[in-house]
Amino acid sequence: MKHYLLIVVLCFLNLAHTQNCTYTLLGEIKDFHDGTPMSGATIYNETSNTYTSADINGKFTIENLCNGKLVLIISHVGCETKRVEVDIDGDTYQEINMEHHLEELKEITVTTDSKIEKTSIQQTVSKKQIETFSDKSLGDALNTISGVSSLNTGNTIVKPMIHGLHSSRLLIINNNVRLFDQEWGYEHAPNIDINASGRIDVIKGANSLMYGSDAIGGLILIRPENYAVKDSLFGSTSLALNTNGWGGNINSEIVKTNKNGFYTKIQGSYKTFGDFESQNYYLSNTGIKSINASARIGFKSFEKGFDAYYSFVDNTFGILRASHIGNVGDLVRAINSGEPQYISDFSNTINNPKQSIFHHLGKIEAYKRFKEFGKLTLQYDFQINRRKEFDLRRGDKANVPVVDLRLFTTSLQPNLRIDAYENLKINTGFLLRYQQNDAISGTGTTPLIPDYDKYDFGFYAIGAYNLNLLTEISAGFRYDFSRIEASKRYRVTDWDETYNYDELFPEFNTGVIEDSRYFTNPEFSFHNISANLGYARHMRNDFEFIFNYGLASRMPNPSELFSEGLHHSAARIEIGQLTMEKEIANKFMASLERKHQNFGFTISPYYKYISNFIQLIPIGTTTTVRGAFPVWEYNQTNAQIFGVDIDLYKTISNNFNYTGSLSLLRGDNLSEDIPLINMPATNFSNSITYNNEKLNQLSIGLTQKTVLQQNRFPDYNFFTFDPVLQQEVYVDISSTPETYTLFNFNSSARFKVFKTKTLKVAFNVENLFNVSYREHLNRLRYFADELGRNFNIQLKINY
């Protein structure tokens, strides 16, 4: 208010006195971040229509000024042109700060080399690629990246894997919020609507300390789009239709941006599929229904801003009816018959068994930049995940879930980015998180995961330093403290005899017995330390070399500690162990990259040594009322995983492009000197694309993908007595399916419609030759084939 008064007073004075135009303005133009003078900046005096420029010290003078308001427009290479109003009151000094970080305020055109850090080894799925997966899942989209595969339960529940590692070993960061959606379960897919994302980065190397200390496998970063600061209203609607599953997806989004910095986005999608079909039969009860919505509102300017985001995901997944089996005998029959034990005609209805999951995610983030210092960001977020699993049950329990868990997570994360030094950038911050799991009562089953409260605290510091123009090094450190307090009932026989907990953990037992179960309160605290080192060097001819070392530690997840339950789909009882210790990984990864217009490649070898690697393996059978049942237990071993990911591209001619990739991986259980379970097999892909920009941006492509048979697997097969056949039967749960090759065809073109709008039309064929195959990383591979041919049409209109 004072300022306004002053101006008014000044104006008044100006009017009252005769103009005395002898004053001088001394200006100094500096970089906002580090205060370095901006020599050579152009200063346009709008008031007098004259130009001047800043000297080597960023200084300039304008003489013979009258008192009053002066309008200057300052421009400098690489900076946003700035308009400033200066109040001249006698000889005046004015400091003007210019901003180099233009990209943060504009739309970023995603190129493969825009990395989170120069030293990170990462690959990106662009918005354009994401759009082609609008009716698929996150895991499907990531599967196109070398070194990334997926652990599937059927074809709709797709869990991403990086270098054979999944679940709690992968951090999925959605809009800067670490996803907590009961990701510990092998058949729990990430609750993400891929349509809500702007780009997805997969970080295979070690640059992930900002998000957690336990990224043993890697990091999946789902990022929103960045909007330009201008007045605009735009949106799009896309529709995808498929013959396999007779379903599809519709997605709409609308974005409003303002030149004052405010922006709003609303997005929603609906997906529905009926039973999918393999080459020879319908996969009964494999449909999916998914309703998603997201909204964001924010304000951004260079100095400050905020962003609020909320998303809602509601998924219902049908589980292959034939995979519901009662005992090991049923499993043997399923394996030996080679065909599902239950096949019916196509249906749109999702019956039991099924999963029904809600996921709410909300966050708000605010930032403020400080001159010659850096950027302070404060983020608060919460997530609620409710998972219900329905099984085939008798009588009035048919519609009561067997699993009903609700997970609530909330966290507060301040981050400070110091960018005042020209060659050194520092990120530091801390994290406070609270998590509560609630096993909802009324299921009529023992909860798979017990009630627990979990508290986390962590802090980190990461620095990146430019040694010279061509070389950058980075280093980081992180410490995390976690405490979990659970309450669970254990069978007296299990506690006292099977697991010997009466001697190992007597302090957890309250001594209260009910229904021959002890009431116990297991509590654990973990201290995790993680660190990383990175080195990146640019070389001649667009070559770049990157090396990463990472130390990561992960506390056992609740499933590994407490899980106790029967999985019908795998005919197994899965049991966690209180004796689990934290997993510690040492990761080494290098990458030689060439990013040239006509020919480029990436060769990334890696080696991971993981001590106390937690794995879920069969340990024998137990006799139950249903007959013999395999028991799978979590145990720990020392493991190594190493391999190489290779990607390459080549421009053949103006219109033809080639891309190819190859992933080789080997996982060893070092303690027992056998292969690790569930490791992805060698796979490679080749694709040829024809593009014609002039002809409606026509694009036609053919992709081949081959997955070789996994010959390195641990042999956990066993014999069991089948009382029906009155003989020992061989239970082959370990052997892997044969090599398969799939071909996909895709084509797309853009058309101008309604004068200003563009319509993109795509036609694709998946599994072109309708091959019948099974994939060893699909948990339902014992029961049915994978999908047969699919014709897909996608329409997208931008407005």
Told to check if 768 binds another protein by CB under 8 A, we report no
Told to check if 281 binds another protein by CB under 8 A, we report no
Which residue from 624, 692, 717, 735 is in contact with another protein, where contact means CB under 8 A?
624
The Cβ of residue 474 has, within 10 Å, a number of other Cβ atoms equal to 23
* Least CB distance to another protein at residue 587 (A): 35
The Cβ of residue 777 has, within 10 Å, a number of other Cβ atoms equal to 21
Cβ-proximal residues to 688 (8 Å cutoff; 6+ apart), any chain: 652, 656, 657, 658, 701, 702
Cβ-proximal residues to 11 (8 Å cutoff; 6+ apart), any chain: 68
Told to check if 509 binds another protein by CB under 8 A, we report no
Query: Distance between CA 776 and CA 737 in Å, rounded?
Result: 6
Query: Two tokens at 203?
Result: 């970080």
Q: Where are the alpha helices (DSSP H) in 600-715?
A: none
* Least CB distance to another protein at residue 413 (A): 13
* Least CB distance to another protein at residue 306 (A): 5
Count residues contacting another protein (CB under 8 A)? Answer: 69
Which residue from 566, 603, 674, 698 is in contact with another protein, where contact means CB under 8 A?
566
Q: Which is nearer to another protein, 49 or 516 (CB)?
A: 516
Q: Which is nearer to another protein, 169 or 354 (CB)?
A: 354
Cβ-proximal residues to 137 (8 Å cutoff; 6+ apart), any chain: 156, 158, 189, 192, 194
* Least CB distance to another protein at residue 489 (A): 6
DSSP 360-402: EEEEEEEEEEETTTEEEEEEEEEEEEEEEEE----GGGTTS-S
Instruction: Give the SS3 label for residue 147.
Output: coil
Residues in the chain, total:
799
Which residue from 345, 507, 514, 673 is in contact with another protein, where contact means CB under 8 A?
514
Told to check if 255 binds another protein by CB under 8 A, we report no
Q: Which is nearer to another protein, 126 or 341 (CB)?
A: 341
Which residue from 377, 445, 520, 683 is in contact with another protein, where contact means CB under 8 A?
445
Query: Distance between CA 735 and CA 724 in Å, rounded?
Result: 24
Q: Which is nearer to another protein, 443 or 792 (CB)?
A: 443
One-letter amino acid at 751 equals: F
Told to check if 597 binds another protein by CB under 8 A, we report no
DSSP 298-323: EEE-SSEEEEEEEEEEEEEEE--GGG
* Least CB distance to another protein at residue 301 (A): 10
Told to check if 576 binds another protein by CB under 8 A, we report no
Cβ-proximal residues to 109 (8 Å cutoff; 6+ apart), any chain: none
Q: Which is nearer to another protein, 330 or 542 (CB)?
A: 330
- Residue given tokens 């001649």 in the structure block: 540
Which residue from 82, 115, 333, 650 is in contact with another protein, where contact means CB under 8 A?
333
Told to check if 626 binds another protein by CB under 8 A, we report yes
Instruction: Output the CA–CA distances (angstroms, integers) from residue 782 to 154, 331, 459, 732, in the order listed.
Output: 11, 8, 45, 9
Q: Which is nearer to another protein, 395 or 511 (CB)?
A: 395
Give, for 141, the enclosing helix (H) or strand (E).
Answer: helix 138-142
Told to check if 341 binds another protein by CB under 8 A, we report yes
Which residue from 161, 222, 288, 439 is in contact with another protein, where contact means CB under 8 A?
439
Q: Where are the alpha helices (DSSP H) in 554-654?
A: 558-562
Told to check if 627 binds another protein by CB under 8 A, we report yes
Question: Of the listed pieces 29-37, 63-71, 562-570, 776-784, which binds another protein according to CB under 8 A?
Answer: 562-570
Told to check if 261 binds another protein by CB under 8 A, we report no
Site for another protein in 676-705 (CB under 8 A): none
Angular region, 186: left φ>0, alpha ψ -120 to 50, beta rest: alpha
Q: Which is nearer to another protein, 44 or 634 (CB)?
A: 634
Question: Of the listed pieces 41-49, 61-69, 512-520, 594-602, which binds another protein according to CB under 8 A?
Answer: 512-520
Query: Two tokens at 364?
Result: 């708000």
Query: Distance between CA 748 and CA 763 in Å, rounded?
Result: 6
* Least CB distance to another protein at residue 355 (A): 18
* Least CB distance to another protein at residue 167 (A): 22
Told to check if 327 binds another protein by CB under 8 A, we report yes
Told to check if 5 binds another protein by CB under 8 A, we report no
Query: Distance between CA 780 and CA 152 in Å, rounded?
Result: 8
Which residue from 136, 159, 188, 489 is in contact with another protein, where contact means CB under 8 A?
489
Query: Distance between CA 182 and CA 157 in Å, rounded?
Result: 14
Query: Distance between CA 693 and CA 127 in Å, rounded?
Result: 19
Site for another protein in 722-741 (CB under 8 A): 723-726
Q: Which is nearer to another protein, 235 or 326 (CB)?
A: 326
Residues facing residue 161 across a β-bridge: 149
Which residue from 57, 81, 348, 498 is in contact with another protein, where contact means CB under 8 A?
498
Which residue from 24, 47, 61, 487 is in contact with another protein, where contact means CB under 8 A?
487
Positive or negative, the CA dihedral 139, 143, 145, 147 is: positive
Angular region, 777: left φ>0, alpha ψ -120 to 50, beta rest: alpha
Told to check if 493 binds another protein by CB under 8 A, we report yes
CB 518 within 8 A of CB 509: yes
Which residue from 575, 664, 733, 765 is in contact with another protein, where contact means CB under 8 A?
575
* Least CB distance to another protein at residue 169 (A): 26
Positive or negative, the CA dihedral 720, 725, 730, 734 is: negative
* Least CB distance to another protein at residue 302 (A): 13
Which residue from 213, 385, 427, 443 is in contact with another protein, where contact means CB under 8 A?
443
Question: Of the listed pieces 127-135, 165-173, 246-254, 508-516, which binds another protein according to CB under 8 A?
Answer: 508-516
Q: Which is nearer to another protein, 360 or 371 (CB)?
A: 360
Told to check if 351 binds another protein by CB under 8 A, we report no
- Residue given tokens 């948990």 in the structure block: 779
Give, for 276, the enclosing helix (H) or strand (E).
Answer: strand 276-277
Gyration radius (Cα) of the chain, Å: 30
Give, for 16, the enclosing helix (H) or strand (E).
Answer: helix 2-16
Which residue from 109, 111, 349, 441 is in contact with another protein, where contact means CB under 8 A?
441
* Short-list 67, 60, 73, 62, CA closest to 88: 67
* Least CB distance to another protein at residue 408 (A): 5
Q: Which is nearer to another protein, 359 or 582 (CB)?
A: 359
Which residue from 330, 542, 581, 732 is in contact with another protein, where contact means CB under 8 A?
330
Give, for 229, the enclosing helix (H) or strand (E).
Answer: none
Question: Of the listed pieces 96-104, 276-284, 656-664, 721-729, which binds another protein according to CB under 8 A?
Answer: 721-729
Largest CA distance in the chain: 117
Q: Which is nearer to another protein, 247 or 450 (CB)?
A: 450
Site for another protein in 410-429 (CB under 8 A): 410
Told to check if 623 binds another protein by CB under 8 A, we report yes
Told to check if 324 binds another protein by CB under 8 A, we report yes
One-letter amino acid at 586 equals: N
Site for another protein in 282-321 (CB under 8 A): 304, 306, 308
Q: Which is nearer to another protein, 17 or 394 (CB)?
A: 394
CB 144 within 8 A of CB 126: no
Residues forming the site for another protein (CB under 8 A): 1, 3, 304, 306, 308, 324-327, 329-330, 333, 341-342, 360, 362, 364, 366, 378, 380, 382, 384, 392-395, 397, 406, 408, 410, 436, 438-447, 451, 487, 489, 491, 493-494, 498, 514-517, 564, 566, 568, 573, 575, 622-627, 629, 631, 723-726
